[in-house]
Amino acid sequence: MAGVMQAAGDAARAIESISWVLFAGGFAIFAGVMLLLAASLRRRAGTVRTRLWIVGGGLLFPGAVLAALYVWTVGMTPHWKPVPPPGALVVAVTGTMWWWDVRYRDPASGAEIRTANEIRIPVGRPVYLAVDSNDVIHSFWVPQLAGKLDMIPGRLQHLLLSADRPGTYRGQCAEFCGEQHARMVLQVVAMAPADFEAWLAAQARPAVSTASAGQQAFLAHRCNACHAVRGVSEESRLGPDLTHVGSRMQLAAGSMANTEDGRRAWIAHVQRIKSGARMPSYEKLGDETLAVIAEWLGTLQ
């Protein structure tokens, strides 16, 4: 279980410590109250100093505890940073019903690199996420790395996180956003810095245009009306950028594994797999066409 209590970065670790203190403190106070209750039942009326207990236990004690928690947690909460700290990797993430559009800048050329549903980051380097939404309010939440941040249309917000060990950290939209909210999953993959640089350089390259039957079918059936494949077609942004779709682990925001069968099933039966998704089902293309498209998409590494 990859949850809040297995923090893998500073922002999440603050939340983990606060949670432990709240659990332990809450339990201790609950146990104390139960002991007092038991003791009070054994006393005879008139021997308890009511006023002392009301003022001390009912006002001063909770006041002191809450004030201390307030000072401690405010000090620990990561502060909002209007600009990225030096050396940070900047990544833009836009929530869309029901997937995640992810953009990087190519450090070599400054060009934009788009991908979807998967954010790769270098271990140990601060990552400054610029987060917003295309439609309704979503919420960015990768419990092992940081707290939640709402993704609000028309408002750019920032989240600073870092991973201190390599791994794949699951994220999930945490604000109900419509029928496929549950299938709005994202993966954050923390990699060794050199591996990350190599991955980013590969993502920066356009897809190699081939005269394959798969590419021809993709264009002939106007998949590019919604999907960009850099180097092949640069049209719409209504759907995820597919330039390097073959390099991703999962399809359609965690709906299925990114295998050839998975891609074929997805294209044919979108509305059965993720009903309401903003892409039509393409059973009508027939097995052979679906197979060549699925195969070609797999070559887009």
Q: Which residues bind ligand HEC (CB under 6 A)?
A: 98-99, 116-117, 218, 221, 223, 225-227, 238-240, 245, 248, 251-253, 263, 266-267, 274, 277-279, 282, 293, 297
Q: Could you give the string, one character per residue 84-123, with x where binding to Cu ion holds by CB under 5 A and - elsewhere?
A: ----------------------------------------
Per-residue tokens: 174: 């945490």
Beta pairing partners, 52: none
Radius of gyration (Cα) for the chain, nearest Å? 25
Q: Which does 274 bind (CB under 5 to 8 A by kind): Cu ion, ligand HEC, none?
A: ligand HEC
Which range in 25-33, 56-64, 181-189, 283-291 contacts Cu ion by CB under 5 A? 181-189
Which range in 99-107, 178-186, 221-229, 243-251 contacts Cu ion by CB under 5 A? 178-186
Q: Does 148 bind Cu ion (CB under 5 A)?
A: no
Backbone phi, psi, residue 171, to 5°: -120, 165
User: Are 272 and 265 a contacting pair, CB within 8 Å?
Assistant: no
For residue 187, give the nearest of 164, 207, 163 by alpha carbon: 163
Q: Which does 177 bind (CB under 5 to 8 A by kind): ligand HEC, Cu ion, none?
A: Cu ion
Q: Does 181 bind Cu ion (CB under 5 A)?
A: yes
Smallest gap, in angstroms, from Cβ of residue 254 to Cu ion?
12
Kindly state the number of chain residues that form the binding site for Cu ion, as judged by CB under 5 A. 5
Q: Which long-range contacts (CB under 8 A, 24 or more apart) does 19-26 make?
A: 21/69, 21/72, 22/69, 25/65
Q: Which is nearer to Cu ion, 97 or 229 (CB)?
A: 97
Q: Which does 60 bind (CB under 5 to 8 A by kind): ligand HEC, Cu ion, none?
A: none
Q: Which is nearer to ligand HEC, 162 or 233 (CB)?
A: 233
Q: Which does 268 bind (CB under 5 to 8 A by kind): ligand HEC, Cu ion, none?
A: none
Instruction: Output the CA–CA distances (angstroms, integers) from residue 131 to 18, 44, 293, in the order listed.
Output: 25, 62, 32
By CB under 5 A, name the one of 15, 149, 161, 177 that touches Cu ion. Answer: 177
Q: Which is nearer to ligand HEC, 11 or 277 (CB)?
A: 277
Q: Which is nearer to Cu ion, 151 or 207 (CB)?
A: 151
Smallest gap, in angstroms, from Cβ of residue 106 to ligand HEC?
20
Smallest gap, in angstroms, from Cβ of residue 214 to ligand HEC?
9
Q: Does 173 bind Cu ion (CB under 5 A)?
A: yes
**Footprint of Cu ion (CB under 5 A):** 138, 173, 177, 181, 184
